[in-house]
């Protein structure tokens, strides 16, 4: 389906987002900022109105964009680049849309992950469409998390390590509590890159309610100490895998502990000591006291 003139301008205006999605390493870039100025979608309020008017919902433009995305995604090959452009447009529309349109956008982008793409002769995965979808969903909060948890560890993509890492990190960027269990369940996972990605994703949950934050902190600390104790026990360096795991997971785990606690320590042992001393304390009050 060819976009109608009513949405052509929006596709052009989303070019900056599209460049981000199609540039190598885009998934590590900062979250996309508010959408560029479009034709007014929300009515301007009069001074005597008390509440802001809700954003427009169930728009025909969104329906057309999602239909166009579906058509491109089904065709593969060069059409993937066009699908990524539409994803960029939908990202700019998302924050300006009503709840029904937002849900439709998240589901429509998630559906791109159902499409099958073959590996090349060297065994490399064709992840362009998948990565763009993961990144976009990572900017969509609870709705994005609801879709991403379906794809983390999904059998269709389980063997695609690079994509799994991007899906996991995108889930963290949603900052949605709905993703916490999926992420903590990956701590201790046999693939160290996946475990490290989960630890890195949990960095974003410093805004959790304190009790829940402590639970996540404890899970990360237990995994960190497990990795460190395994290294310490291998005094003759007979098992290279234990050192490989520790070298992969320790840095993201230490960073996440600092994010969750609002406190800094330099070694796993120091973090264990801090936890033993402060696990029943109000960390927010501790941080306020240390800043004053």
Last residue of a domain, one of 176, 200, 229: 176
Tell me, yes or no, whether 47 lies in a domain. Answer: no
Per-residue model confidence as pLDDT tens for the chain (292 residues): 444 545 545 544 555 555 556 554 444 444 434 444 444 545 555 555 567 889 999 999 999 999 999 999 999 888 999 999 999 999 999 999 999 999 999 999 999 999 999 899 999 999 999 999 999 999 999 999 999 999 999 999 999 999 999 999 999 999 999 999 999 999 999 999 999 999 999 999 999 999 999 999 999 999 999 999 999 999 998 999 999 999 999 999 999 999 999 999 999 999 999 999 999 999 999 888 777 6
Q: How many residues are there in the chain?
A: 292
Tell me, yes or no, whether 18 lies in a domain. Answer: yes
Tell me, yes or no, whether 50 lies in a domain. Answer: no
> What's residue 34's pLDDT?
41
Rounded Cα distance between 275 and 218, Å, is: 8
Rounded Cα distance between 203 and 94, Å, is: 25
Contacts of residue 244, Cβ cutoff 8 Å, sequence gap at least 6: 192
Indicate if 209 and 133 belong to the same structural domain.
no
pTM exceeding 0.85: no
Rounded Cα distance between 26 and 24, Å, is: 6
Last residue of a domain, one of 176, 197, 215: 176
Tell me, yes or no, whether 216 lies in a domain. Answer: yes
> What's residue 138's pLDDT?
98
Indicate if 84 and 216 belong to the same structural domain.
no
DSSP letter for each residue of 18-30: HHHHHSTTGGGSP
> What's residue 289's pLDDT?
76
Indicate if 67 and 146 belong to the same structural domain.
yes
| Residue 234 structural domain | 186-292
Please count the structural domains in the chain. 2
Last residue of a domain, one of 176, 204, 237: 176
Tell me, yes or no, whether 40 lies in a domain. Answer: no
Which residue has 């009069």 as its token pair? 46
Indicate if 132 and 272 belong to the same structural domain.
no
Rounded Cα distance between 27 and 171, Å, is: 12
Indicate if 285 and 251 belong to the same structural domain.
yes
């Amino acid at each position: 389906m060819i976009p109608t003139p009513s949405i052509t301008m929006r596709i052009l205006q989303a070019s900056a987002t599209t460049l981000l999605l199609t540039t190598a390493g885009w998934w590590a870039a900062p979250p996309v900022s508010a959408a560029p100025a479009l034709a007014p979608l929300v009515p301007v309020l009069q001074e005597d109105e008390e509440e802001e008017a809700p954003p427009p919902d169930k728009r025909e433009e969104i329906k057309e964009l999602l239909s166009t995305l579906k058509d491109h995604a089904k065709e593969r090959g060069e059409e993937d680049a066009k699908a990524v452009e539409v994803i960029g447009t939908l990202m700019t529309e998302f924050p300006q849309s009503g709840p029904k349109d937002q849900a439709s956008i998240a589901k429509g982008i998630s559906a791109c992950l159902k499409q099958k793409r073959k590996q090349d002769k060297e065994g490399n995965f064709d992840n362009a469409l998948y990565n763009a979808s993961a990144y976009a969903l990572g900017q969509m909060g609870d709705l994005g998390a609801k879709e991403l948890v379906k794809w983390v560890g999904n059998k269709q993509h389980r063997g695609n390590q690079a994509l799994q890492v991007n899906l996991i990190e995108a889930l963290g960027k949603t900052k949605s509590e709905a993703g916490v269990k999926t992420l903590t369940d990956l701590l201790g996972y046999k693939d160290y890159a996946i475990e490290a990605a989960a630890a890195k994703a949990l960095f974003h949950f410093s805004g959790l309610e304190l009790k829940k934050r402590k639970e996540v902190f404890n899970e990360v600390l237990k995994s960190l100490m497990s990795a460190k104790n395994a290294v310490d026990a291998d005094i003759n360096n007979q098992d290279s895998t234990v050192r490989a795991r520790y070298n992969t997971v320790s840095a993201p785990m230490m960073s996440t502990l600092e994010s969750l606690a609002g406190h800094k320590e330099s070694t796993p042992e120091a973090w264990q000591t801090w936890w033993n001393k402060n696990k029943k304390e109000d960390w927010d009050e501790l941080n306020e006291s240390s800043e004053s």
